[in-house]
Amino acid sequence: METFSQKVYAVVRRIPRGTVATYGQVAALAGAPRNARFVGFALHANPEPGVIPCHRVVFRDGSLAPGFAFGGPERQRTLLEEEGVVFVPPADGVNAGAGGWRVDLERCLWRA
């Protein structure tokens, strides 16, 4: 029987280069739509960094996790930009993500 973490890794492996998924989206696709927080726990323990592309998972507003386990949010942003993921500045008065920038979900959200 597959564990929840194994299901998460299987979903994240399917996220195409140049797109992102949200923690909630990954949780739903792994069969547990209310477990977005546990997706984060699973990805923090990613057994195959670089193989399982956990950098492609972002918050529902497109912001990056401040505790990205494999180099911090700036490293996550660099990895995403290298794949062609587009970032947008924050709306006035909104604090989102590293430096306030967030992924343009209109253009880059994975349509699983």
Active site (catalytic) residues: 54
Amino acid letter for position 62? G
Q: Which amino acid type is present at position 19?
A: T
Q: Find out whether 29 and 109 touch, Cβ atoms under 8 Å.
A: no
User: Which residue type does 11 have?
Assistant: V
Please tell me the distance from the alpha carbon of residue 61 to that of residue 90, in angstroms, as a whole number: 10
